[in-house]
Structure 1
Amino acid sequence: MASAVDDADDAGDALDTEGRQLLYDLVSIPSPSGEEAEAAERLAAFFAEHDREVFVDEVGNVRAPADDSVLLTSHVDTVPGDIPVRVEHDAGDEYSPDGDAVLWGRGSVDATGPLAAMAVAAVETGVSFAGVVGEETDSRGARFLVEDREAPDAVVNGEPSGWDGVTLGYRGFLAGTYVATSESGHTSRPDPNAVEHAMNWWRRVEDSFETEDYEPVFEGVTTKPVRFDGGLSADGLSMEATMDVQFRVPPEMEAADVRERADAELDAGTVHWEEPIPPVMTSPRSEVATAFRGAIRRAGGDPRLLRKTGTADVNLFAAAWDAPMATYGPGDSDLDHAPNERLPLAEFDRAVDVLCAVSERLSDPA
């Protein structure tokens, strides 16, 4: 039987470390993309309290430059969603089998948990830190960061992998907007209108990228329409159709290849493409991956090397910086964006310990 504690003042032993309190505070501050300022202020205050240089840059990133042998970085923003913030002392479930205290709230997994763990580790080890904005939308924080600073010697990007998991690969991302128009006419006419043109194009695109059931999702292109608007124009003289579409691109392909194949299926209308995010697959033998495997083993875990079907800011870092990197953070990614998003606090503590060990190893490889 779970018992919940809704107020931080009454959470008792559950918030018994500075890191846990920082995590609770950040999860308690709503920070959907575009509204990160208050959370960024709390994060910056944490570094200032520890006499670390810290500033919020012109796009809203929280930056605490220091020992650049490693940069710990995660995103401040979350997706929208109101999940009452509370600590539950659970009798145990699949996400907290030992009955640990569990923090519920939007962002506890993606990615405020990794963000807070990295902030604590950066303070304890003296390495560089950046909390970036906009990851859930346009990655404006990461895009600005790679333009505004030199490459660090190594990068650890913060996303949920579980405390004993390290993510080495992400698919790339390509988004576009299909637009078509046609003359208005009676619906009894057989000629296809703009709405049909859009539907037919997307059907051909899906068929073009269809994979066999036995092929891993990570190794294929995922096609997804995310918004559609169509019908008679305001002046009644034409039919219009607009469709926003997204593609996930495996490391074996480039976004340009996907775009070319999608454009080849056009017989009406045009597609306005956005700047793509390239896929990434890093080496399991890099200095960063090796440091994580050793730290996880020393903490009593069996390291898991992961590939994710989505996309993260590490894709942009890998494209811009010639440095070893990996992605890591507490939390089960099955709970990303979910209405039951929650993080066992004991897992958060273990992730902090692993991040500290990795940072120390990378800053003093001897």
Structure 2
Amino acid sequence: MNASSECATDAGVSEQEARDLLEALVSTPSVSGEEREACDLLVAFFEDHGREAWLDEVGNVRAPADDAVLLTSHVDTVPGEIPVRVEESGTTSSSRDQGGETAGGDDGDGGPELWGRGSVDATGPLAAMAVAAVNTGVSFVGVVGEETDSRGARHLVTDREAPETLVNGEPSGWDGITLGYRGLLAGRYVATSESGHTSRPQNNAIQDALQWWSRVEAAFEPGEGDEWSPVFEQVTPKPTSVEGGTSDDGLAVEATMDVQFRVPPAMTTDDVRERVERELNGGSVHWHDAIPPVMTSPRTEVARAFRVAIREAGGDPRLLRKTGTADVNLYAEAWDCPMATYGPGDSDLDHAPDERLPLAEFDRSVAVLESVAQTLGGDA
């Protein structure tokens, strides 16, 4: 084992204290680029429990300890205000008052749920990992910027060596283990044409852009017999913004289109890039991000530890593949170590206006993470 710092784990975190940390973090706005207050709260949590913690150059929360396991999740959320409250069976049973106190509630199935931006993606997994790290003495990092440019994860893989094993925090449900994510290719299409009367039959730049995108979509349509293949195994092309019109000097028509492609493990980002560029018709694409897909084995020691822990907690383990992209894609590209993604919450509620997390599920996820950390090398 590689212990990178001394840690004290005798001051364990209780279930209620864990819930308090979760609600405090969800109540602290942490939109990408504005994570500092939430990061400071995490540093204070670790220091209050005898652990060394600090913010690194890009703002990540670093709490190194036993590197047999690195628990890491992202601090940032997408924008969107959802009033933070705890509701049970559709009625408000408790909420954070001005003093920050939270009333208790039933912690069984169907009991209280914490509403708020980030409760699922990914403050729930983040808080569960922080508690498990304190209670088992393993390493922890809370990274910034996952929802935008993954600057926290990109810095992390260049700033430290690979851990022995890694668990990335994203919602999978307390009984789910995510083993695969599609990759991401992102760029901007740019086209320019001479201005002219709209009665002319020749394409202008806007038409070039629209026709190019139609051809791109057709190029990635499932072939005969593949119509029912899972989305995870397909390329998903998606425009994210479009602008076009006459230039300020009136001499040209311009068009730009920001585009993204989700890339399945059967392909590489280079494969997708080449196919997209074959459809060009006068414009050009300027690529600015390429993250490879990842598919890890269900037979690694991390995956086995999760299956055992979930069964011991009364669950039936589910192995998942996600159609999006996460920081674990970057970790898998940079580090040759066993890894999996895990965390409480229903990923269908990611970024949703009704984002909420059952507190009983949060409790179970903490127990599962602690069991996994202990199995892989943390304190028993």
Name the aligned partner's letter for residue 322 of structure 1: D
Match of residue 137 from structure 1: 148
> Quick one: distance in 2 between partners of 1:37 and 1:97?
34
Aligned to 2:98: none
Does residue 268 of the first structure (1) align with residue 279 of the second (2)? no
Pair 1:207-2:218 in alignment: yes
- The match for 1:48 is 47
Task: Measure the CA separation in 1 of the matches of 2:291 and 2:73.
Answer: 17
What does 1:96-111 align with in structure 2 at a 5 Å threshold? 98-111=109-122
When the two chains are superposed, the root-mean-square deviation of aligned CA atoms in Å is 1.6
Asked if structure 2 preserves the Cα contact closer than 8 Å seen for 1:227 and 1:245, the reply is yes
- Contact 1:91/1:99 (CA < 8 Å) preserved in 2? no
User: Scaled by the length of structure 2, what TM-score is found?
Assistant: 0.90
Specify the SS of the correspondent of 1:357.
Answer: helix
Residues 365 and 249 (structure 1), Cα distance of their counterparts in 2 relative to 1, 3 Å cut:
farther
Q: Following TM superposition, by how much is the alpha carbon of 1:51 offset from its aligned partner in structure 2, in angstroms?
A: 1.3
User: 1:18 is matched with which residue?
Assistant: 17
Inter-partner Cα distance in structure 2 for 1:338 and 1:177: 27
List aligned pairs for 1:173-184, cutoff 5 A. 173-184=184-195
The answer on whether the counterparts of 1:158 and 1:328 sit within 8 Å (CA) in structure 2 is yes
Runs of at least 4 residues off by over 3 Å: none
Q: Tell me how far apart the structure 2 counterparts of residues 33 and 287 of structure 1 sit (CA, whole Å).
A: 33
Once the two structures are superposed, what CA deviation does each residue of 1:249-281 show, in whole Å capped at 9, x if it has no partner? 000110011001001100111100013111000
Q: CA deviation digits over 1:268-308, x for unaligned, max 9?
A: 11100013111000000000000000000000000000000
What one-letter code is carried by the residue in structure 2 that aligns with 1:74?
A: S
Unaligned 5+ segments in structure 1 are 1-14
Cα–Cα, structure 1 residues 365 and 327, in superposed 2: closer, same or farther, change >3 Å? same
Shift of 1:364: 6.1
2:303 and 2:184 mapped to 1: Cα distance? Answer: 24
Give the corresponding residue for 2:349. 335
- Distance in 1 (CA, whole Å) between partners of 2:378 and 2:301 is 12
CA distance, structure 2, for counterparts of residue 237 and residue 72 of structure 1: 56
Task: Tell me the number of residue pairs that the alignment of Structure 1 and Structure 2 aligns.
Answer: 349
Q: What residue is the counterpart of 2:73 in the other structure? A: 74
Alignment of 1:193-232 (within 5 A): 193-211=204-222, 212-232=226-246
Deviation at 1:213, TM superposition (A): 2.5
Is residue 91–residue 98 contact of structure 1 (8 Å, CA) maintained in 2?
no
Shift of 1:99: 2.4
Aligned-partner Cα distance in 2 for 1:151–1:16? 31
Give the distance between the partners of 1:99 and 1:273, measured in 2 at CA: 46
Q: CA deviation at 1:98?
A: 3.2
Partners of 2:247 and 2:111 in 1: CA distance: 57
Query: What per-residue deviation string (whole Å, max 9, x for no partner) do you get for residues 173-194 of structure 1?
Result: 0000000100000000000000
Report whether the alignment pairs 1:243 with 2:242.
no
Measure, in 1, the Cα distance between the counterparts of 2:361 and 2:289: 36
Q: Offset of 1:26 from its aligned partner?
A: 0.5
Q: Distance in 1 between matches of 2:249 and 2:22?
A: 53
Paired residue for 1:189? 200
Structure 2 distance, partners of 1:141, 1:247, is 22
Q: Which runs of 5+ in 2 are unaligned?
A: 1-13, 92-106
Identify which of 143, 166, 169 aligns with 1:158.
169
CA shift in 2, pair 1:125/1:16, >3 Å: closer
Q: Offset at 1:365?
A: 11
Letter in 1 for 2:84: V
Where do residues 81-96 of structure 1 align in structure 2 (5 Å cutoff)? 81-90=80-89
CA contact (8 A) 2:86 2:114 kept: yes
**What percent of counterpart residues are identical?**
72
Q: Secondary structure at the match of 1:275?
A: strand
How far does residue 53 in structure 1 lie from its aligned partner after superposition?
A: 1.1
| Correspondence 1:234 to 2:245 | no
Deviation, 1:345, is 0.4
Asked if residue 116 in structure 1 is aligned to residue 123 in structure 2, the reply is no
8 A Cα contact 1:71 1:130, kept in partner: yes
Structure 2: which amino acid aligns with 1:85? V
Q: Secondary structure at the match of 2:120?
A: coil
Which residue is equivalent to 1:7? none
Aligned to 1:60: 59
User: Are the structure 2 counterparts of residues 119 and 365 from structure 1 closer, same or farther at C-alpha, using a change threshold of 3 Å?
Assistant: closer
